[in-house]
Amino acid sequence: MGLTTIDWVIMAVYFAFVLGIGAALKRYMKTSTDFFLAGRSIPAWVCGLAFISANLGAQEVIGMGASGAKYGILTSHFYWIGAIPAMVFVGVFMMPFYYGSRARSVPEYLRLRFDEKTRGLNAVSFATMTIFSSGISMYAMAKLIQTLHILDAPFRGLGLPQAWIFDTGIIVSALVVLTYIYLGGLTSAIYNEVLQFFLIVAGFIPLVWLGLKNVGGWSGLKASLGPSYVHSWVGMGSPHTNRLGVEWFGLTMGLGFVLSFGYWCTDFLVVQRAMAADSMASARRTPLIAAVPKMLFPFLVILPGLIAIALPTQPPPVMNGPQGSAIAAPAGRGLIPAKLDATTGQPVLDNNGHPQLDYDLAVPNLLLRYFPTGILGLGLTALLASFMSGMAGNVTAFNTVWTHDIYEPYIRPNAGDAHYLMMGRLATIFGIALSIAGAYLATRFNNIMDMLQLVFAFVNAPLFATFLLGMFWKRATGHGAFIGLLSGTLAAAVHHALTIPVDAIPGVKGGWLRVLHTYPSEMAQNFWTAIFAWTTCFLVTILVSLVTKAPEESRLVGLVYSLTERPQEGHLSWYKRPAYLGVAILGATALLNLIFR
């Protein structure tokens, strides 16, 4: 790869700014509110961009490009169905309770609304999840630096072994994120997320522009890829007539309702950005402002995947075999190479004996294909920025939940504010240390990560039912919520144990008790697992609530819809009113669906 001085200078300037922002904010971190909630003083547009950027980690930038190459424009369902409606809902309906209750975190809201045990359950599972997500982000970044050979030349120059590149990637990224969060807390994370947002956009627009120009625009893509790649709704009537292998009901209910609302409406990682807003009106506008770029992101992150697969296939690269002999790798498709096993170097085959494609390289290869030195530095900076914002989002969510929802109630109650501020800083350090451990765990045991993500999916799937009933049904009780959540998780596990995607072997993919039903794709199985979990949690919470003692209404003021005054917004101009904004965003999203149907 032809990196020259200018690329290195661009990356160095980026690191200098990221750390500089942390240093500049250090003197404002006086209380725990400054550190954990940015002093509740951030303007709406900044919160909005941080809201979307915290979610714009590696999984999104690399993963959505990969899905674009694999599934085509159908991937846009993860945005237009799987994000926008939930973002509008959390802004218009749920934010008044999160922000208005003065809770400092999502688990703390659960304590105010339900009880201690529901909060504890949510806090512990959430904290564990953030650690592993940030570890996975770190792992993905170090892996990418290794795969793209970014650091090979400088390491040779310095006489360092190439084997250290992976470790260097992990340690440097961890230290940078640690420094800027340790210094400036949530404000620093949010400010850097906004900077990262603009850098990601600035790095990806020229990529899409050059790529589209080369393949002859949208019509060129259509012509070379065929209809199954360029329609998002045609063929959704049956799982066998579209690339996702899911039918419209599983898609809209599983992804569009359960998974999407469960993530965008209850995940503290994103909700924390809105809680930092300077007023109730700003907090409610945060997810709505975020929805506007989110709506357009498919063009930035999915299109590169389609372009990468539409380009003429490169001749198979020649690699060095075990004894230095040259062996030809199996052909990929477009810019996407065949997947090679990390340990043996042999191509990975699917169940039918065909070589699998390494879709995760769609976006990086496109970057290397079109960007000459100079702008290549900007493109790589955009990738680095995305990895770091994803990591930092998890770290700030972790230090807050650890300090307010685990340390303060269970380990050391009633210590002074200065003590909790210090604990927040300490939590940043050991949170990152644990993430590093997670990253190395991922290198050692690939299956452990698959299993953990599965467990998280089981824990997360029912959550939205608990919040929906908590916020909109005053009769829901703490026992109901707790037992409902546990049953929902159990239902997810049981459903997973009894079903399997077609062509899979029973085990981590499902069917580990016995196989009662076979799904046409893994995605269909995931969506239906979520639907079962949500429905179980919803029904069990209602049943248990009805047989347990109703909570006192006076305690629920400000926490439940029917007992809370509507936020006053008569003084706001129309374009700042959440309801109007929400309708406009939903209208625009419907239009996009119609255009790309």
Q: Which chain residues interact with other proteins by CB under 8 A?
A: 6, 9-10, 13-14, 17, 20-21, 24-25, 27-28, 38-39, 41-46, 100, 187, 191, 194-195, 198-199, 202, 206, 210, 213-214, 278-282, 369-375, 378, 567, 571-572, 576
DSSP H helix total and E strand total for the chain: 26, 4
Closer residue to other proteins, CB minimum distance, 131 or 283: 283
Closer residue to other proteins, CB minimum distance, 203 or 262: 203
Closer residue to other proteins, CB minimum distance, 6 or 543: 6
Q: 294 is written with which tokens?
A: 């989110």
Q: Which residues pair with 318 in a beta bridge?
A: 328
Backbone Cα Rg of the chain: 24
Closer residue to other proteins, CB minimum distance, 7 or 522: 7
Closer residue to other proteins, CB minimum distance, 574 or 587: 574
CB 388 to other proteins: min, Å: 14
Spatial distance between the Cα atoms of 246 and 281, rounded to a whole number of angstroms: 38
Distant-in-sequence contacts of 403-407, Cβ < 8 A, 24+ apart:
403/32, 403/36, 403/427, 404/36, 404/104, 404/105, 404/107, 404/108, 405/105, 405/107, 405/108, 405/111, 405/119, 405/120, 405/123, 405/127, 406/120, 406/123, 406/124, 406/127
Q: Where are the beta strands (DSSP E) in 345-503?
A: 499-501
CB 103 to other proteins: min, Å: 15
Closer residue to other proteins, CB minimum distance, 29 or 165: 29
Cβ burial 461-491 (10 Å sphere, 16+ → b, else e): bbbbbbbbbbbeebebbbbbbbbbbbbbbbb
Closer residue to other proteins, CB minimum distance, 64 or 375: 375
CB 10 to other proteins: min, Å: 6
SS3 of 203-264: the string is HHHHHHHHHHHHHCHHHHHHHHHCHHHHCCCCCCCCHHHCCCCCCHHHHHHHHHHHHHHHHH
Closer residue to other proteins, CB minimum distance, 190 or 492: 190
Q: 378 is written with which tokens?
A: 């900007």
Spatial distance between the Cα atoms of 63 and 243, rounded to a whole number of angstroms: 16
CB 26 to other proteins: min, Å: 11
CB 187 to other proteins: min, Å: 5
Q: 140 is written with which tokens?
A: 């993905």
Cα 420 to the chain's mean position, in Å? 28
Spatial distance between the Cα atoms of 83 and 585, rounded to a whole number of angstroms: 12
CB 580 to other proteins: min, Å: 15
CB 280 to other proteins: min, Å: 4
CB 474 to other proteins: min, Å: 22
In degrees and rounded to multiples of 5, residue 277 shows phi and psi of -65, 160
CB 572 to other proteins: min, Å: 7
Closer residue to other proteins, CB minimum distance, 42 or 439: 42
Closer residue to other proteins, CB minimum distance, 369 or 475: 369
Closer residue to other proteins, CB minimum distance, 444 or 571: 571
CB 329 to other proteins: min, Å: 23
CB 28 to other proteins: min, Å: 5
CB 177 to other proteins: min, Å: 17
Cite the DSSP H helix spans in 26-115: 32-37, 44-53, 58-71, 77-80, 84-89, 95-100, 106-113
Spatial distance between the Cα atoms of 37 and 268, rounded to a whole number of angstroms: 12
Closer residue to other proteins, CB minimum distance, 21 or 62: 21
CA-nearest of 382, 189, 410, 221 to 304 is: 221
CB within 8 Å of 12: residues ≥ 6 apart:
none
Instruction: Tell me which amino acid residue 15 is.
Output: F
Spatial distance between the Cα atoms of 404 and 392, rounded to a whole number of angstroms: 18
Instruction: Tell me which amino acid residue 317 is.
Output: P
